[in-house]
A and B are shown apart, each in its own frame.
Chain A
Amino acid sequence: GNSVTQMEGPVTLSEEAFLTINCTYTATGYPSLFWYVQYPGEGLQLLLKATKADDKGSNKGFEATYRKETTSFHLEKGSVQVSDSAVYFCALSDHQGAQKLVFGQGTRLTINP
């Protein structure tokens, strides 16, 4: 079945550091890929998405590129801020039936001033 593996956390960085959170997936066919962010006490918010190979999703300074050859969708940001502290989830969805999301286990990110 489909699955997503995320870099284990927690991750702690200083403000303005470079961020990478690794995500790899296993899926049949060509799924759509997503990064969701969850702030404390809140639901999941879509951060960015990519729907086909080589697509780059971007939002709020975050980027991720759909790499079919390495089955990866790593999240990057060039200069993190304290406000980026949250839990980040990589997810995939196929294009069949329920189009349900399959999530990774999440990576908790803490940014120190």
Chain B
Amino acid sequence: DTGVSQDPRHKITKRGQNVTFRCDPISEHNRLYWYRQTLGQGPEFLTYFQNEAQLEKSRLLSDRFSAERPKGSFSTLEIQRTEQGDSAMYLCASSRLRQGGWDYGYTFGSGTRLTVV
């Protein structure tokens, strides 16, 4: 078990370009989350998947954002037509929901730091 992996670690892009981030969760974890963390703030929930189904999206997730988790394994987060306000750390986390309750505590990846110039 190598934990939650995110790629790339850093991304610098020009305003208006599209970017895509990848997250590989812990293999037996059936829930996968995306959070966004801006400088000096705590992470904020964006969206989550249970297996391959995207079950909830935050109002923070504008139409320019899309997330997928094909086959319930890795996930991608795409941002189209990036804006300077999208500059942030994008964190992925996974957890395990088992029969009888939640396996408390997420495992977070190291994040992808996006800078839009």
> A interface vs B, CB < 8 Å?
4, 32, 34, 36, 41-46, 49, 51, 89, 91, 95, 97-106
Given A100-B45, A106-B40; A43-B91 close (CB under 8 Å): yes
Q: Mark B71-110, 1 if CB is under 8 A from A, else 0.
A: 0000000000000000000010101010000101111111
Interface pairs (26), CB distance under 8 Å: A4-B42, A32-B104, A36-B108, A41-B110, A43-B6, A43-B110, A44-B93, A44-B108, A45-B108, A46-B105, A46-B106, A46-B107, A89-B43, A95-B102, A97-B55, A98-B56, A99-B95, A99-B97, A100-B56, A101-B43, A101-B106, A105-B40, A105-B41, A105-B42, A106-B40, A106-B41
In angstroms, Cα B35 to Cα A43, docked, is 11
| Residues of chain A with a CB closer than 8 A to B108's CB | 36, 43-45
In angstroms, Cα B43 to Cα A105, docked, is 8
| Residues of chain A with a CB closer than 8 A to B102's CB | 95, 99
- 12 new A-B contacts at CB < 8 Å, known A43-B6, A89-B43: A41-B110, A42-B110, A43-B4, A43-B108, A89-B42, A91-B42, A98-B33, A98-B55, A99-B97, A99-B102, A101-B106, A105-B42
Q: Is B25 an interface residue (CB 8 A)?
A: no
In angstroms, Cα B103 to Cα A51, docked, is 11
Complex A-B, nearest 5 residue pairs according to Cβ-Cβ distance, in ascending order: A103-B42, A43-B108, A44-B108, A43-B110, A100-B45
| Residues of chain B with a CB closer than 8 A to A99's CB | 95, 97, 102
> B interface vs A, CB < 8 Å?
4, 6, 33, 35, 40-45, 48, 55-56, 91, 93, 95, 97, 102, 104-111
Interface of B is mostly: strand
| Residues of chain B with a CB closer than 8 A to A102's CB | 45
Taking CB as reference atom, which chain A residue is nearest B35?
A101
* Interchain CB contact under 8 A, B42 and A34: no
Taking CB as reference atom, which chain B residue is nearest A42?
B110
* Interchain CB contact under 8 A, A44 and B105: no
In angstroms, Cα B97 to Cα A105, docked, is 27
* Interchain CB contact under 8 A, A98 and B91: no
